[in-house]
Amino acid sequence: MSLIEQAARRLEQLREAGSQLSGDLAFPEAEAATRRPEEEDSIIERAAQKLRTLHSDPAVAPRVHVPPTDEARRLSVRSAVEAEVAAAVGTAQPASPTSEIGPVSSPPTPPERSPEPRTDRSDGTVVRPQGRQRSREVEIDFNRILERGLLTPNSAQSRLANELRVIKRPLINNCLGKGATPVKNARRIMVTSALPGEGKSFISLNLALSIAMERDSTVLLLEGDPTRPALAEMLGIPPARGLMDLLADPKLDVSDVLIRTNLGRLSFIPAGTRNEHATELLASTVMEHLVEQLYERYPDRILIFDSPPLLAAPEPRVLAQHMGQIVYVVEADQTSQSTVQEALSTIESCPVVMAVLNKSSYREDGYYYSYYYAQPE
């Protein structure tokens, strides 16, 4: 039997069904004149339901509601006939999304994308949406750094630990407002020296480790000497993005470069990717705003900046203007008094400057590092 013949037979069945329905659902002529519009709507709905029970073709979407308007009724009858014919000849088409009969499938919802970071101000401050991925973690090998003369939680009673207590105690007291006079921006501590090689990175790392071992103190250590970075290597941390990347790329957030350690109260930001404009970046307003951002973002942390030497570049002098305390490292028996005085004159604007004598010739138990602190008048 051809498709045309099948369609014709199906149409004949529909006509017969329609005739039967008209007989079943007809009202006497006397009542027809008094029928209300809502009764007519009910008749149409009953007729449509009867048609659906006579033929349950999956290609025809079930009708759940026919709006009580003339246009809707015409659409309903026409769509029903078209669907039946299409089903008979095997060419049924999906219902139009704008059809008022049958369910309309909504287009799939695309997966949500995390909003991109944006910079709201010209100072380069990054506004990061909530729900960002947490900063990564590294595990410090304390046995390895102990062999290199660094402080570890297991050496809390060593000579080094006791000498670091002498250095850190006045710094922490100033951070807590327990010093002789209030110190503005006391939680910003810069560790520097007059010349390269005097041991400032050694002091800054040990100082950060010692403060992080306090019960109520947390530390963020920043490697701010991109010319001679040493802290990441001393901690055994592989190269990664850091401070230079944060200053050069306004799309980066602090959490993108921050490294958390297994010494829970110590976090670290390495120097990062080498940049030919590193010195300019350190002296830029971007660095100034970053210092302010870190100070406000982490109100419970002491910030320790390992900066370049004072007489090797002008950048640490600019950075010193935004610090509350400075630890000035002097190499014993090497740095001349005139050099010390020249370097100190560049950081006179900082309210607190403490000097630490490093690499002293005094030895005890094979250990040749010794320190003292002094606050200049």
The reply to whether 153 and 274 lie within a common domain is yes
CATH code assigned at 164? 3.40.50.300
**Collapsing DSSP states into helix, strand and coil, what is residue 363?**
coil
The reply to whether 146 and 76 lie within a common domain is no
How is residue 214 annotated by DSSP?
S
How far apart CA 246 and CA 270 sit, in angstroms, is: 10
Specify the length of the chain in residues: 377
The reply to whether 83 and 149 lie within a common domain is no
What is the DSSP track for 257-316? H-EEESSTTEEEE---S--TTHHHHHTSHHHHHHHHHHHHH-TTEEEEEEPPPTTT-SHH
Least confident of 5-9, 59-63, 173-177, 251-255: 59-63
| Residue 376 domain-assigned (yes or no) | no
Nearest by Cα to 187 from 17, 58, 325: 325
- Range(s) of the domain holding residue 24: 3-89
Average pLDDT over residues 342-357: 91
The reply to whether 159 and 50 lie within a common domain is no
The reply to whether 175 and 57 lie within a common domain is no
**Collapsing DSSP states into helix, strand and coil, what is residue 83?**
helix
Residue carrying the six token digits 């901690």: 235
Reported as a single tens digit per residue, the pLDDT across 271-298 is: 999 888 888 898 889 999 999 999 999 8
The reply to whether 303 and 210 lie within a common domain is yes
| Residue 17 domain-assigned (yes or no) | yes
Give whole-number Cα distances, 25 to 17, 22, 50, 66, 73, in Å.
12, 5, 10, 18, 17
Question: Is this model's pTM higher than 0.85 or not?
Answer: no
| Residue 368 domain-assigned (yes or no) | no
| Residue 296 domain-assigned (yes or no) | yes
| Residue 274 domain-assigned (yes or no) | yes
How is residue 350 annotated by DSSP?
S
Q: Which helix (H) or strand (E) holds 325?
A: strand 325-331
Q: Tell me what pLDDT residue 114 has.
A: 42
The reply to whether 265 and 338 lie within a common domain is yes
User: Do 324 and 179 touch, CB atoms closer than 8 A?
Assistant: no
Q: Tell me what pLDDT residue 255 has.
A: 92
Q: Tell me what pLDDT residue 53 has.
A: 62
| Residue 103 domain-assigned (yes or no) | no
What are the tokens at 288?
Answer: 């100034």
**Cβ-count burial of 311 within 10 angstroms (0-12 exposed, 13-18 middle, 19+ buried)?**
middle
Q: Is 199 left (phi over 0), alpha (psi -120 to 50) or beta?
A: left
Average pLDDT over residues 343-347: 92
The reply to whether 177 and 54 lie within a common domain is no
Q: Tell me what pLDDT residue 313 has.
A: 83
| Residue 192 domain-assigned (yes or no) | yes
Angle CA(264)–CA(267)–CA(273) in degrees, nearest 5? 150
The reply to whether 218 and 287 lie within a common domain is yes
The reply to whether 46 and 156 lie within a common domain is no
- Cβ atoms within 10 Å of 228's Cβ, excluding its own: 12
The reply to whether 215 and 352 lie within a common domain is yes
Give whole-number Cα distances, 201 to 89, 222, 232, 327, 367, in Å.
85, 11, 10, 11, 18
The reply to whether 83 and 161 lie within a common domain is no
The number of distinct structural domains making up the chain is 2
User: Do 247 and 288 touch, CB atoms closer than 8 A?
Assistant: no
The winner for highest mean pLDDT among 111-125, 151-165, 198-212 is 198-212
| Residue 244 domain-assigned (yes or no) | yes
How far apart CA 371 and CA 369 sit, in angstroms, is: 7
| Burial annotation 10-22 (CB, 10 A radius, 16+ → b, else e) | beeebeebeeebe
Confidence label for 14 from pLDDT (cuts 50, 70 and 90) = low
- With pLDDT > 90 as the criterion, what percentage of the chain qualifies? 43
Average pLDDT over residues 315-331: 92
Computed over every residue of the chain, the mean pLDDT equals 75
Reported as a single tens digit per residue, the pLDDT across 17-68 is: 655 545 544 444 444 455 555 555 565 566 556 656 655 554 444 444 445 5
Query: Kind of pairing, strands 301-306 and 218-223?
Result: parallel
Reported as a single tens digit per residue, the pLDDT across 103-151 is: 444 444 444 444 444 444 344 434 344 445 567 899 999 999 999 999 9
On the question of pLDDT at 86 being above 80, the answer is no
Helix residue ranges, H only, the chain: 3-25, 29-32, 37-54, 70-89, 142-147, 159-175, 200-212, 231-235, 243-248, 254-257, 278-282, 285-297, 315-320, 337-345
